[in-house]
Structure 1
């Protein structure tokens, strides 16, 4: 079979699945876990991997029936949207896939990209189906078979020039027993590979100590230390300089470097954009919440609220919503592109949630029209889903205002930064028993401090002060939840 015939046959039976365009402005995702391996049988709709975007962990279903042919990336790799991550042989009964030279494969693949109509794309929860008119990203070159030159380059060495005439091949270097078998690529994450390349260390000569035979940073440093020390000592001896400790790092062996990605990367980018785009103003107020705390205890005993999570945050959220209803011009957004202020007749209340993946801010849609039991139910579901890492990107978009409960960490308050596109964020501090003047006498009362940050383009000092004062007034006398509603 010719290369062209093999390419055409492969194009018909090998279907490539690309990292889906999940929308919401996301351009990459990290492969957290593969649920299949080459040779496994898969069916249309079967989940094959879990990926982490900048906003959520998402399971990806495969849209083909067949047998897994290749997995193009290891777990822990960050992949651009539109990049092929897995290929499936949709006709395994036709025999082995006819391999073809890489030079011949590329034109066939390009022709398939231009001519073949695309099949059904995976639809992720919270995103909806991608429109058929969406422009496709250019295909990245697929990996070629690992040659000796390429293997050398991957290991941080310059590839040797091809000899003009046959020459004797030198014996391969002695590889430690614990390292990767000859002919196999050593297991290491991309940051570790880069470190080894920077230090001039061949990964194939390192004995891995990580789980599953993975080479760690410590392994690379351990391999580099013996080689660097004699060279440094020799240079210093020739120059007549006394040996001293390197000053580039205090102790690199006791440092950890973690790639900036996922939620941490998205949070950092959003906070920088918000801090240097919207002019922030933060105001503070300290309030006696003794009556609110008594109401919390009473509501916990109410049979109509049995099974619901009743806590101070619930009443703070309700007080915030009531105050915004009294000052609806607060609920707005600044449209820089169109030079417009967008006033919103709905309140999507964001709740900052600390999760193992980092801080995320999902929001309760139309929170302003929900009853207290409805608000309690959605607040509990929001927090539980966030901690499980199952929050969808759709749940973290469209927010208008946010509450961050720093009091759970024992913090009095803070100066919160606005979520991009939102007008205000309320920080709820710790509730503490403090001496307080109550009815002309100093008594122990439960007191908290609130901090409100707002976009000064939308909210001036008077409006921001009125909003914060109203939140405090409701928490001081929670019966206003009824009289002001």
Structure 2
């Protein structure tokens, strides 16, 4: 029996997606939930698992094509051809949503687990995929000659399989750390770190040159298209005001150095970004106008009593701003871990659409590019965004004398409909006070 698989709604409410690459070819035999393609939406690259087991009959799109949701993407010759074909309208309804679709093959037994390499020890820790893990040390590196291949395909989720593919990791060689037998993101990352797998460069959009090769044309698609639309909407909807403040952050940088030297905290990689994030969370509690949004339809100003802190991340596909939920509840080390996790996930192109929605305030670190200051554009729906400039060692007045100090420029853009100049200035100074003297954070709540 031949059936068509239509591109499903990817759980984002977007009307189309670009086919990045096929991972199968016509004539291939595929298993249920086997990854068949990678598609890019306006927000992320997503792995597309197969909803059927059978033979690939026809691929209806080529890499680089933009496919509308509901359009036929692939046709299968299914195993067991005597099954009745569903009516066309039923077939369209039967296409499952990509997020979590396709039931795994049922089995009363867990997948066979690979044998451990002798002479080494490993620590098994059950964790959530979203948690940041430090891989336990191993005395021996597993190699294919000590691996017992399972009879079933390793159990994992589509995002984890995407990560494994990007890192060049064979999931058959990875052992699940938890009792469920499901391989997690942390398991893949720990294995990659153990065997020294390098992360490849992200796949960039296809480009074409004109006949004289004097220009290069890149299709405006995916994340870049979405970001451009959002920035234009923000710039022409919210009246932006930007204020600057240059400060001595030597005490904050000394704190960073001491935390890195502390063995108990070294793995958290606490930097100036995490300290600034903590300062922002504290200041927003005292200046709620910076943590609000303008609801034009309801004619109301909505103040948030929580902080979903957006972290602007530059990727090969464009700018994304995932956010840390309830950041005000996190300690400094937890904020540092969350920032690193968001950045790594964004660079891998695997940020979940839900993680880019519902932000209340954002931070962008332009200093990592050697820039002293800028005028950041608000993330749509937010009242403020803080840009951190580069930390530079330069002469500065200190205790009545000139000394070499670590100096940084802060730039705060805010929506003048929601925030008056006085409120913006007081918020900026309060954030700066924590960076100038981190001990002041003990006085705030």
TM-score (norm 2): 0.72
Q: Note if 1:405 corresponds to 2:405.
A: no
3-state SS of 1:259 partner: coil
Corresponding residue number in structure 1 for 2:442: 482
Name the CA distance, whole Å, in 2 between partners of 1:348 and 1:396: 10
Q: Distance in 1 between matches of 2:260 and 2:97?
A: 44
Cα distance, 1:452 vs structure 2? 0.4
1:382 to 342, 347, 353: 342
Structure 1 residues 120, 21: closer, same or farther in 2, change over 3 A?
Answer: closer
SS at match of 2:93: coil
Distance 1:466 1:24, change over 3 A: farther
Aligned partner of 1:178 in structure 2 is none
Deviations 1:175-230 (A, max 9, x none): xxxxxxxxxxxxxxxxxxxxxxxxxxxxxxxxxxxxxxxx9956x83xxxxxxxxx
| Aligned equivalents of 1:93, 1:114: Cα separation in 2 | 20
What residue ranges of structure 1 are gaps of 5+ in the alignment? 1-12, 96-108, 130-214, 222-251
Q: Name the SS for the 1:421 alignment partner.
A: coil
Contact 2:22 2:36 in 1 (8 A): yes
Partner deviation per Cα, 1:278-314 (whole Å, 9 max, x = no partner): 1111111111101000000111122331311121111
For residue 128 of structure 1, report the CA deviation from its aligned partner: 13
- Distance in 2, matches of 1:353 and 1:216, equals 23
| Contact preservation (8 Å) 1:62, 1:122 | no
Higher gyration radius (CA): 1
Q: Which residue of 1 aligns with 2:293?
A: 333
Which string of whole-angstrom CA distances, capped at 9 and with x for unpartnered residues, describes residues 365-387 of structure 1? 11111111211111111111111
Which SS does the other structure have where 2:52 is aligned?
Answer: coil
1:66–1:88 Cα contact (<8 Å) kept: yes
Q: What TM-score do the two structures reach when normalised by structure 1?
A: 0.67
2:41 aligned partner: 53
1 CA distance for matches of 2:365 and 2:301? 28
Give secondary structure in 1 for the equivalent of 2:340: helix
Is structure 2 residue 302 aligned with structure 1 residue 353? no
Contact 2:11–2:99 (8 Å) recurs in 1: no
Is the 8 Å Cα contact of residues 270 and 333 (structure 2) preserved in structure 1? no
User: How far has the Cα of 1:115 moved from its partner?
Assistant: 5.0
Q: List aligned pairs for 1:77-226, cutoff 5 A.
A: 77-91=65-79, 112-116=87-91, 118-119=93-94, 121-124=96-99, 221=211
- Secondary structure of the structure 2 residue equivalent to 1:114: helix
Q: CA deviation at 1:112?
A: 3.2
Cα pair 1:41 1:67 within 8 Å, conserved: yes
> For the residues of structure 2 that align with 1:36 and 1:92, how far apart are their CA atoms?
21
Of the three residues 465, 468, 475, the one matched with 2:425 is 465
Deviation per residue, 1:72-104 (Å, 9 max, x gap): 000111111221111212246569xxxxxxxxx
CA distance in 1: counterparts of 2:102 and 2:233, whole angstroms: 28
2:264 is paired with a residue whose SS is helix
Aligned pairs, how many?
342
Instruction: Report the alpha carbon displacement of residue 345 of structure 1 after superposing the two structures with TM.
Output: 1.6
RMSD: 2.4
Q: For 2:102 and 2:424, how far apart are their aligned partners in 1? A: 38
Give the SS at the match of 2:36: strand
